[in-house]
Amino acid sequence: MSSFEDVVLLSPREVPLGGPRGMTVHRTLPARQTSLIGAWCFVDHFGPDDVSLSDGMCVARHPHTGLATVSWLFEGAITHRDSIGSHALVRPGDVDLMVAGSGITHSEFSTNDTTVLHGVQLWYALPDRARFREQAFVVHTPEEQTSGTVRVRVGLGRFRATDDAGAVLEGRSPVVSDTELSMAQIELEAGHAMRIELDPAHEHGVLVDRGAAHVSTRNASPGRGGAAPLSAEPGEAEVQRKELAVLPDGSDHLVLRAADGEDLRVMLLGGEPLEEDIIMWWNFVGRTHEEIEQFRARYQAEIGVEHQLEDTPIAEIARERGGLGPHDEQFGPFAPHTPEAIPAPMLPNGRLRSRGRVGHPTA
C-alpha cells in the first residue's frame, strides 16, 4: 500500500444538498489525492447556515449499502428516520451512527425550530467481512473533557492529549464500530497548543471548522502561545477553515496550535488502514461495478420506479452474505405519509473504477 510521508491538504468543493432552496455542503473526502483515511471515505462539512431563509437540510428517503454514517452537529437539530424503525433527533454533542449493512434507507430534515444548522456528516466503508451485516442505529452522548484552554468530546475510539500547561485529557467512546476508528471534536483557545497522542498504525486527518490551525507531527514541544512558523517544514502545515489535513502515515503524535485571534475547533479523524479498494458511487459502497448496478436496480424497483420488483432480484452476494430471502426488501419498509423517496441517478456510460488509499482511482 502507498503511504503519505508529509501532510497533505485537501480543499473543499461545494456540493448542493436538498434542492435549489436547500443548503450547500463542503466536501473534502473523497478527493483526487485520496479516498480514505482509515475506513473514513466521505466528509461533508456544512454551516453555519441560517436555514430560516431556505429549506435547510431536506433530504428525503435514500439508500445506502456497505457503509455507516456518522452525524455530528455543532448547532441546530435534524430529524432522522430509517427503514429499521429508528426515529431520532440528532442534536449537538451526540454521535449518531447508522450502519447500512446490506441495505437501508433513511431521511434527514432539519427541524422547524432550527435557525442555524452547522455540523459534519461522515461515512466509513464497512470492511468486506462486515459489509453485509445487520443494520443498526446508535446514539451516544459523550462527556466533555476540559482543561484551562481545551475542550474535547470523543465520539469514537480513544483520545489522550496534554495541553500547554501540562494538563492531561483522556476519553474513550463505548460506541462499537466494525473497524477501529476514532473521532473527536477539539476546541482550543487562540494562541495555545496541545500535544495529542496518535496510534502510529492508524491513518489520521484534521478537519478545521473554526479558526486556523498549525499542525505538526515533528518531535517538538507544543510550547505556549506565540505565532506559528512563517513556513512549514516536513510534517507541518497551516490548515485553514474547511480544509482537511491528512497526516503523514506512522505519526505517533500531533502538536495542534491555534492561531492568534480566534479560537480553534477541529474534528480529528483516525482509523486502522482499510487495506481494501472500494467502489463508491452515489450512496452505495461496493467492490465491483456489477454490485453497484444490482444495488441501484433493486432500490429503484423497491421504490416503484424504472424496474418491476419481480424482474429485479436482490444481488446474489447480498442474499448469501446478508441472509436475505428472494421476497425480502433489501432497503426495507418506510414509514407511510413521508416525502417520496429520491430516485437514483443514472449510472455513467463507462465502468465504475475502484478507489485506492492514495492517488487517482485505480482501474
The pLDDT value recorded for residue 222 is 53
Phi, psi of 95 (to 5 degrees): -105, 125
Residue pLDDT, tens place only, 309-350 = 999 999 999 999 999 998 899 999 998 889 999 999 999 999
Contacts of 320 (CB under 8 A, 6+ apart): none
The pLDDT value recorded for residue 17 is 78
Q: What is the mean pLDDT of residues 10-15?
A: 95
Separation CA 356–CA 361 (nearest Å): 6
* 339 DSSP assignment: P
Contact 79, 120 (CB under 8 A): no
Residue pLDDT, tens place only, 175-190 = 999 999 999 999 999 9
Q: How far is CA 285 from the centre of its chain?
A: 14
Residue pLDDT, tens place only, 114-129 = 999 999 999 999 999 9
Indicate the CATH number for domain 143-274.
2.60.120.10
Peptide bond connecting 30 to the previous residue in cis, omega within 30 degrees of 0: yes
Contact 354, 285 (CB under 8 A): no
Phi, psi of 349 (to 5 degrees): -65, -40
Per domain, the residue ranges of the chain are: 1-141+277-363, 143-274
61-80 as b/e: b if 16+ CB within 10 A? bbbbbbbbbbbbbbebbbbb
Separation CA 358–CA 107 (nearest Å): 32
Q: What is the mean pLDDT of residues 137-153?
A: 97
What string of DSSP letters covers 58-76? EEEEEEEBSEEEEEEEEES
Separation CA 134–CA 130 (nearest Å): 9
Q: What is the mean pLDDT of residues 345-362?
A: 80
The CATH number for 1-141+277-363, chosen from 1.10.2020.10, 2.60.120.10, 3.40.50.10540, 3.60.130.10, is: 2.60.120.10
Contacts of 346 (CB under 8 A, 6+ apart): none
Contact 192, 165 (CB under 8 A): no
Phi, psi of 278 (to 5 degrees): -130, 160
- Of all residues in the chain, the percent with pLDDT exceeding 90 is 84
Residue pLDDT, tens place only, 152-183 = 999 999 999 999 999 999 999 999 999 999 99
Q: How far is CA 328 from CA 67, 290, 312, in A?
A: 20, 20, 12
Decide if pLDDT at 197 tops 60: yes
The owner of cell 481494501 is: 276
Whether 1-141+277-363 shares its CATH topology with 143-274 is answered yes
Q: Which of 167, 54, 177 is nearest to 115 (CA)?
A: 54
Separation CA 274–CA 304 (nearest Å): 35
Decide if pLDDT at 220 tops 80: no
The pLDDT value recorded for residue 48 is 93
Residue pLDDT, tens place only, 254-294 = 999 999 999 999 999 999 999 999 999 999 999 999 999 99
The owner of cell 459502497 is: 285
Strand order in the sheet with 67-75: 13-17, 23-29, 40-50, 116-125, 67-75, 95-99, 136-140
Confidence class for position 68, pLDDT limits 50, 70, 90: very high
